[in-house]
């Protein structure tokens, strides 16, 4: 039966390895998603009422285009680009930057609370930037006209009533067309990352005008992504309460570079990175048409937009639409707070909780709660591990008692093997009789592994995707729990001035984790077969290498969990009077 236990242990180990490869591993070259119901060819099947593809013209109107990045254009100094158009400054506790008055574009935004790296002299994270060569990341909230009405476009120069936008000082942008129609954008900002734009049209002309609210986010050139199945990076939105994710690759194939989901009542649409998000949030009670688009020569520019329903504004009347624009860090409590207070449909899904959402969320909120008390995410992981062990204590306790009983039966089992070694059928029959007589369960030793697998994956998700773990220190050399242990024994933990290749980097905590696995094995009876014993002996080494580049927070959890298991198993076996590590019975 040790063979069965060994087989089960190897199966669980391989399951974790394969699960890691399938769930967390690097994506292969993707095949575009085929969704006949909502994928539209950009040149066929688009209704006349739908906006044309980005940057194109129609007979009746022009989409307020943001321009197309020229692959051959020269990259200019960022300061010169920002100074090329009049701007109003953005100044808030968490955001700095500016809004271009040419086109009323959100194209300059820096997150003051986040650095690019953990280095002291690191720059703040820059989220939005104007078009510069092949790059650019920006948003506009405006209108699109289905008539011949003259509406603001990318070249419109707006007038502002103030020079600086802050939480205390909203700004009004105004522009009047040649017919006397007044367009206004009243922009306000809260203390975090949410802009509110009240788009107002005052028709002072002699004729009625028709237009649609039209808001979009545009990203020029494909950003660097991590390419992991565990994390979605690209375009996304919630429509009619259902999350839809679109990878950049999905929009780079001919025939699928324009994806138009069904019309949605409310919801939101945007572009996400691992930790950062831009999202347009319309009135949650009105119907909008979402769209994802890839455009440009190589289809490597991306757009996420909403188009509202047509509004007629008679002469002498006015019309107002309110749209919100989120641009910032995906802080869990803040995103949830926006969802609840602003009634934004499933805004919490901007954070990729993954398949184990039912477990990932509670683990995060527990960690966050402990962190508010302890002030250290690493200590919070240790405390959470203790609580998880307590939750599963009855199961583990039963299993370790069964393992202790199995170890106590080793002498009898060896006698049976020696007596019936050549007759496997008889040997198995005698083994089963022994188990039945002694009320032993040979498979129960693997039960504690089962609940650890979803907890392991869920905790990995928490450590990997939540910004609260980004750059969160532990103690000593661990400055970022979301990154791998930076030390390695190969260069004597930094004493030798040499940076080894990544595959040789095995830090202190992975070694500690491997050591705990080794000592935990010593508490179990060794397999009688020498080949099996060697395979078992190499498992800690294999896991040490496999987990070496995992986030240090996860490796610390695994090592601490093993240490608690060793203590629990040792006490149970000692109480039962079972020899430990091959020792004699006490």
CB 457 within 8 A of CB 363: no
User: Beta-carbon neighbour count of residue 556 at 10 Å?
Assistant: 22
Phi, psi of 284 (to 5 degrees): -75, -5
Pairing mode, if any, of strands 87-91 and 164-165? parallel
Q: What is the pLDDT of residue 471?
A: 96
Q: What is the pLDDT of residue 56?
A: 40
CB 559 within 8 A of CB 552: no
Q: What is the pLDDT of residue 529?
A: 60
User: Beta-carbon neighbour count of residue 245 at 10 Å?
Assistant: 16
Q: Which residues contact 182 (CB under 8 A, 6 or more apart)?
A: 174, 175, 176, 200, 201, 202, 204
Task: Write the DSSP symbol of residue 24.
Answer: I
Q: What is the pLDDT of residue 169?
A: 97
Q: What is the pLDDT of residue 38?
A: 39
State both tokens at 516: 């705990």
Q: Single out the residue of 131, 127, 102 nearest to residue 114, CA to CA.
A: 127
Each domain of the chain, given as residue ranges in start order, spans: 35-352, 361-405+443-575
CATH for the stretch 35-352: 2.70.98.90
Pairing mode, if any, of strands 209-220 and 194-203? unpaired
Q: What is the pLDDT of residue 51?
A: 40
pTM recorded for the entire structure: 0.83
- Spell out, as residue ranges, where the chain has pLDDT lower than 70: 1-75, 146-149, 227-228, 254-256, 442-449, 493, 525-530, 532-533, 576-586
Q: What is the pLDDT of residue 422?
A: 76
Q: What is the pLDDT of residue 397?
A: 75
Q: What is the pLDDT of residue 283?
A: 96
Structure-token match 């527990």, residue found: 366
CA distance 352 to 585: 52
234-to-183, 224, 336, 576 alpha-carbon distances in Å: 32, 11, 21, 56
Residue 128, Cα to own-chain centre: how many angstroms? 19
Q: What is the pLDDT of residue 489?
A: 78
φ/ψ region of 88 (left if φ > 0, alpha if ψ in -120 to 50, else beta) reads: beta
CA distance 184 to 202: 8
Phi, psi of 286 (to 5 degrees): -110, 160
Q: What is the pLDDT of residue 64?
A: 39
Q: What is the pLDDT of residue 31?
A: 38
Q: Which segments of 2-121 does DSSP mark as H helices, in order?
A: 2-19, 78-83
């Amino acid at each position: 039966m040790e063979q069965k236990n060994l087989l089960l242990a190897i199966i669980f180990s391989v399951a974790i390895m394969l699960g890691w490869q399938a769930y967390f591993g690097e994506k292969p070259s993707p095949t575009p998603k085929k969704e006949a119901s909502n994928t539209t060819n950009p040149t066929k099947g688009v209704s006349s009422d739908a906006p044309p593809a980005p940057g194109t013209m129609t007979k009746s109107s022009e989409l307020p285009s943001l321009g197309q990045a020229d692959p051959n254009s020269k990259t200019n100094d960022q300061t010169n680009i920002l100074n090329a158009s009049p701007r109003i400054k953005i100044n808030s506790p968490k955001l700095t930057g500016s809004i271009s008055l040419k086109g009323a574009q959100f194209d300059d935004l820096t997150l003051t609370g986040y650095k690019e790296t953990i280095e002291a002299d690191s720059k703040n994270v820059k989220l939005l930037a104007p078009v510069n060569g092949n790059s650019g990341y920006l948003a506009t909230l405006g209108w699109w006209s289905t008539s011949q009405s003259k509406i603001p476009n990318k070249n419109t120069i707006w007038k502002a009533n103030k020079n600086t936008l802050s939480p205390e000082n909203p700004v009004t942008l105004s522009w009047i067309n040649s017919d006397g129609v007044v367009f206004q954008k009243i922009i306000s900002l809260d203390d975090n990352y949410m802009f509110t734009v009240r788009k107002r049209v005052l028709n002072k002309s002699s004729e009625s005008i028709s237009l649609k609210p039209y808001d979009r986010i545009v990203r020029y050139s494909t950003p660097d992504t991590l390419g992991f199945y565990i994390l979605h990076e690209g375009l996304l939105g919630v429509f009619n309460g259902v999350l839809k994710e679109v990878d950049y690759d999905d929009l780079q194939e001919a025939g699928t570079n324009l994806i138009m989901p069904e019309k949605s009542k409310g919801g939101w649409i945007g572009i996400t990175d691992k930790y950062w998000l831009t999202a347009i949030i319309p009135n949650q009670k009105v119907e909008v048409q979402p769209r994802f688009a890839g455009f440009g020569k190589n289809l490597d520019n991306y757009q996420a937009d909403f188009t509202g329903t047509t509004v007629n504004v008679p002469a002498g009347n006015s019309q107002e639409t309110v749209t919100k624009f989120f641009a910032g860090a995906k802080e869990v409590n803040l995103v949830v707070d926006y969802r609840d207070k602003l009634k934004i449909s499933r805004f919490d899904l901007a954070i990729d909780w993954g398949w184990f959402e039912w477990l990932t969320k509670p683990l995060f909120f527990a960690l966050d709660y402990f962190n508010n008390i302890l002030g250290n995410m690493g200590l919070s992981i240790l405390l959470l591990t203790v609580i998880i062990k307590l939750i599963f204590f009855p199961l583990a306790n039963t299993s370790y008692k069964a393992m202790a009983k199995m170890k106590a039966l080793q002498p009898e089992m060896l006698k049976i093997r020696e007596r019936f070694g050549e007759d496997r059928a008889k040997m198995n029959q005698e083994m089963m009789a022994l188990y039945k007589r002694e009320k032993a369960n040979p498979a129960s030793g693997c039960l504690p592994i089962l609940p650890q697998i979803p907890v392991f994956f869920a905790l990995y998700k928490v450590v990997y995707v939540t910004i609260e773990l980004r750059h969160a220190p532990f103690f000593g050399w661990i400055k970022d729990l979301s990154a791998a242990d930076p030390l390695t024994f190969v260069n004597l933990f930094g004493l030798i001035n040499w940076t080894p290749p990544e595959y040789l980097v095995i830090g202190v905590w992975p070694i500690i984790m491997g050591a705990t696995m080794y000592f935990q094995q010593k508490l179990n009876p060794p397999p009688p077969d020498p080949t099996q014993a060697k395979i078992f002996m190499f498992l800690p080494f294999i896991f040490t290498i496999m987990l070496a580049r995992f986030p240090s927070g996860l490796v610390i959890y695994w090592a601490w969990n093993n240490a608690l298991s060793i203590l629990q198993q040792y006490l149970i076996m000692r109480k039962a009077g079972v020899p430990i590590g091959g020792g004699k019975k006490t």
